[in-house]
Amino acid sequence: MIKYPKLYIGPMSKNIVDSVCENKDENIGLIPSRRQIEFDGGYVNNWRTKEFSNYVKSANPSVLIQRDHGGPMQGSLDDTGLASFRQDISSGFDLLHIDPWKKTKDIEEGISETLKLIEYCLSINEDSKFEIGTEQSIRKFSPTELDYIFDRIKTGLGGKFNNVVYGVIQGGTGIVGTKNNGVFQEKRFKQMIGVCRKHNLLSKEHNGDYLSPLEIKTRFNLGLDAINIAPEFGFIETRTIMEEIYNSQNEYLFDSFFDLCYSSGKWKKWVNNDFKLTNFNKHAILRISGHYVFSNPEFCDIKNSFFGIDDKIKNNLSNRIKEILCETK
C-alpha cells in the first residue's frame, strides 16, 4: 500500500529536486506544473517529462511524482492537456491532479470536464491515481459546493472513484510576492476536511508557502493530510544567491541577474496591479522570479561565480524542509 506524503514540493530547480531526493528519512512528493516540466520542455533544467521522471526515480525511487494542475490552459499553450497527461502516465507519474477549472465557465462544466479527463487517463492506465478540485485563486468553492462536486464525480465514476486519492481544500491561502497574505478561515477549512473524509479522500491544501511553523502545525492538528509548497523553495535558492551577490558588492552581477528576471516577465504573476518599478522593487523582482531563469546559461555564469554555492543552497533548502516536516507530525 502506498504511503502518501504530507509534504509536496514544487521542483523549481535541480537543487530543489536533489534536496528532496537526498532526504531519505521522510516521504516527500514532487509536484511539477506543466510550465516547469512538460513533454516538449519546461523551464526547470530544460527537463522533459520522461527525463525528469527517470532522474527522480533513479535518485530516490520512494519520491512520489504528481502532476500539479494538469489539464487545459495549464501549460504554455491553450490546449486540451491530453498529450501532457498521456506523457505523464507513460513516464510513470504516481498521481495526476485533474484541474480543468481554469477554462470551465461553471461548476457543472467543471464536473463534466473532470470526469472526461479522468476517464481519458484511465483508458491509458486503469491504475492511474488522481487529485481533484482546485485552489481558490483559480475557482473558489464553498464547503457545500465542494461536497456537491465530489458527490457528482463519485456518481459519475462509480467504482473507479477509488482511484481518486486527494481532494483539494481551500483554507484561505494566497500568495503575493514572497508573503502568504491569505486569511485563514478555520471553520471553512475544517468543513472542507470533513467533506474529504465523507468521500474517503485525503485532504490537501495548495499555496502553503511562507507559512510559519505554527500556521503549518495548526492545519495538520485540524486534520489536514497534505500540503503543497512551491515558490517559497525557489525563493530560498534565489535569496541564497542574492546574499552572495550582495556580499561580493558586484553591481554587474546584480544588474545582469535583474535584467534576466525582468525581461522574462514572469514576475508579473506575483505582484499586485499597482506594482511600480523602483530601485527597491528591483530586489523584489529578483526574489519572486529568480527561479524562472535558473536554467538560463547567462544565469549559470552568474551563479558559478561563487564557489560552493550549490552546497549552501541545498543546506538552506534542507533546513526548511526539515522545519516543515516537523510540524506535519
What is the structure's pLDDT at 191? 98
Task: Give the pLDDT band (50/70/90) at residue 30.
Answer: very high
Q: Tell me the average pLDDT across 307-320.
A: 97
Which domains are seen in the chain, by residue range?
7-231 (3.20.20.70), 233-318 (no CATH)
Side-chain-facing half-sphere of 17: CA atoms under 13 Å:
24
For 48-91, the pLDDT digits (tens) are: 999 999 999 999 999 999 999 999 999 988 899 999 999 999 99
For 178-224, the pLDDT digits (tens) are: 999 999 999 999 999 999 999 999 999 999 999 999 999 999 999 99
What is the structure's pLDDT at 276? 80
Q: Where are the alpha helices (DSSP H) in 60-142?
A: 82-90, 107-124
Q: What angle do CA 208, 42, 275 make, to 5 degrees?
A: 55
| Exposure letters 68-78 (e unless 16+ CB within 10 A, then b) | bbbbbbbbeee
Helix axes 279-289, 251-264, angle to 10 degrees: 70
Confidence check: pLDDT of 25 > 90? no
Contacts by residues 219-222 (CB-CB < 8 Å, ≥ 24 positions apart):
219/171, 219/189, 220/6, 220/327, 220/328, 220/329, 222/186, 222/189, 222/190, 222/193
Give CA–CA dist 64/101, Å, rounded.
24
Q: Which of 19, 10, 64, 4 is nearest to 207 (CA)?
A: 10
CA-to-CA dists, residue 60 to 17, 187, 240, 293, angstroms: 10, 38, 25, 26
For 252-304, the pLDDT digits (tens) are: 999 999 999 999 999 998 888 888 887 768 998 999 999 999 999 999 999 99
Q: Tell me the average pLDDT across 160-175.
A: 96
Q: Which of 39, 113, 42, 111 is nearest to 72 (CA)?
A: 113
Q: Which three cell numbers stand for residue 63?
A: 519520491
